[in-house]
Amino acid sequence: MSDDRGFSLIEVLVALFILATISVAGTSIILRSVQSREALTETSAHVQEFASLHARIRDDLMQWVPRGAESRPTLDPNTYFIGGGVGDAGLLFAFVRDGRANPLQNEARSGLFAVRYVFEGGNLIRQVRPYADPLYDADFSDEVLMTGLDDAYAEFRQGVQWIPQWRATEDTSLTAPVVVKLNLQLENGEILSWLFLTPTGALT
């Protein structure tokens, strides 16, 4: 005579408990995997953003030329390089750079233009004037490079020390600093300290 009484209630409950445990564990693993992937994607995006910003500033500073100009017309002296908030609390650094495309000199202008980096309202801003010298109708155009900063300040390498301000005029023996350090404090308290060589540093 065959035994067809099936599973007991306890056996069914034990099986359901095991299946539920496996399901919970599997779901937790999947959730952690998704969260890790999202965190990795977000971190990668930030790294790419920072790398792009670093390259942008590096390219500007590496194209510095020893050309005197006024950072702010009638307000700043004629300088080769000015930085650290000299006469302007939000100024990080300002100078004239080369590299503006003018193939075969077809345009009635040089390849020089003025660049300013400022910190205003929690933003890192790149300001560009299409000419080295100010014109009546040629103000700086602003480009916000980074938002949500608690602080930003620059330091400049002179000899063996870092100094908070730099002013290179015709009356000084200075040109551009050998190295520029840009410090950016993020809202989460993290501080990014980036170093940039200028042509002065690259040739020494």
Q: For the segment 10-48, what is each residue's pLDDT rounded down to a tens digit? A: 777 777 888 878 877 777 787 777 777 666 666 676 778
Q: For 135-141, which contacts have Cβ atoms below 8 Å and span 24 or more sequence positions?
A: 140/114, 140/116
Has residue 101 got a pLDDT over 60?
A: no
Condensed to tens digits (0 to 9), the pLDDT of residues 41-57 reads 666 767 788 888 999 99
Extended strands (E) in 25-148: 69-70, 78-79, 81-83, 91-97, 113-120, 123-129, 141-146
* Residues across the chain: 204
- What is the rounded distance in angstroms from the CA atom of residue 119 to the CA atom of residue 99? 24
pLDDT in tens, 53-80: 999 999 999 999 988 888 877 778 888 9
pLDDT tens profile 108-153? 556 788 999 999 999 999 999 888 887 755 678 899 999 999 999 9
The H or E element that residue 192 is part of is: strand 191-197
pLDDT higher than threshold 60 for residue 2: no
pLDDT confidence bin for 9, thresholds 50/70/90: confident
Place of tokens 């510095």: 64
Q: Comparing C-alpha atoms, which of 143, 95, 97, 86 is closest to residue 120? A: 143
Q: Is there a contact between 134 and 116 (Cβ–Cβ < 8 Å)?
A: no
Q: What's the pLDDT at 10?
A: 78
Superfamily designation of domain 58-202: GSPII I/J protein-like (3.10.610.10)
pLDDT (0 to 100) of residue 75: 78
Q: Residue 140, SS3?
A: coil
Q: Is the pTM of this model over 0.85?
A: no
Helices and strands in the chain, H and E counts: 2, 12
The β-bridge relationship of strands 78-79 and 91-97 is unpaired
